[in-house]
């Protein structure tokens, strides 16, 4: 049976943090949320704080968008966590990260 999921990248602060909480609250789908730094369990507790949701629905992936190896590792981690669901697919994705390079 197909298994849809949601991907929010990144999800540790601001609008994407609020968006992740909203998706956890208003859907029943698993949510994969990325973060660049910090302690994953602390972030997970902040994201699910005061929400009546199953914490197992929230899966955190470390990801630094400025590092190709980090992007590759996050993709591998996501694939490994979905391995038991052969027909998994992204239902909704929010790639909200940005990288600012100073002009010279």
Q: Please check the confidence at residue 36 and state whether its pLDDT lies above 80.
A: yes
Give residue 98's pLDDT band: very low, low, confident or very high (50, 70, 90).
confident
43-56 burial, b at 16+ Cβ within 10 Å, e below that, comes to bbeebbeeeebeee
The pLDDT confidence band at residue 104, using thresholds 50, 70 and 90, is confident
Per-residue pLDDT tens over the stretch 43-91: 999 999 999 999 999 999 999 999 999 999 999 999 999 987 778 999 9
Residue 2 has pLDDT above 90, yes or no: no
* Average pLDDT score, the chain: 93
Cβ atoms of 34 and 42 within 8 Å: the answer is: no
- Has residue 4 got a pLDDT over 90? yes
- Say whether domain 3-95 belongs to CATH 3.40.50.720: yes
Q: Are 10 and 16 in contact (CB under 8 A)?
A: yes
Q: Answer whether 16's CB lies under 8 Å from 46's CB.
A: no
Is this model's pTM higher than 0.85 or not? yes
């Amino acid at each position: 049976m197909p298994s849809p999921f949601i991907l929010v990248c990144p999800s540790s602060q601001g609008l994407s943090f609020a968006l992740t909480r909203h998706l956890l609250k208003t859907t029943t789908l698993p949510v994969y949320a990325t973060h660049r730094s910090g302690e994953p369990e602390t972030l997970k507790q902040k994201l699910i704080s005061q929400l009546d949701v199953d914490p197992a629905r929230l899966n955190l992936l470390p990801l630094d968008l400025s590092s190709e190896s980090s992007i590759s590792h996050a993709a591998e981690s996501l694939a490994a966590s979905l391995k038991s669901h052969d027909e998994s697919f992204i239902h909704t994705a929010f790639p909200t990260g940005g990288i600012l390079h100073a002009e010279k």
